[in-house]
Amino acid sequence: MTETNRDQTCIAHMIECIQRIENYVIAGKESFLNTELIQDAVLRVLQVMAESSQRLSAQAKGSCPEIDWRSISGFRNILVHDYLGGIDHELIWQVIKQELPPLKLALLKIQKN
């Protein structure tokens, strides 16, 4: 698989992950905060999405410098390794509402090019 093909596969996967999360939280914040099943699903999909971001080439990441790719990778590490320390679901909600929309737009921009 060429680097370009791998990038396109990862980007498509990341967009799909964001769309899944959007569907999981469609009932709103209270539903997310009070439903462990939704929390677990969102956390798992965020983890998988962040793992896909780590597979993007430097060129793909460079085409959207407004995205803090390093923070996405660090966020994945927190999700994977800090689960026993407790995940702050309010913070996860902020990520869903504040960080995912611009990331989705950036990914769609990369996908078009």
**How far apart, in whole angstroms, are the C-alpha atoms of residue 19 and residue 16?**
5
Q: In angstroms, rounded to a whole number, what is the distance separating the alpha carbons of residues 38 and 103?
A: 21
- Which residues, at least 6 apart from 103, have a Cβ–Cβ distance to it below 8 Å? 14, 18, 67, 72
Burial of 91 (0-12, 13-18, 19+ CB in 10 A): exposed
Instruction: Note if 76 is an active site residue.
Output: yes
Instruction: Give me the catalytic one of 13, 44, 55, 76.
Output: 76
Q: Which of 20, 55, 81, 89 is catalytic?
A: 81
List active site positions.
76, 81
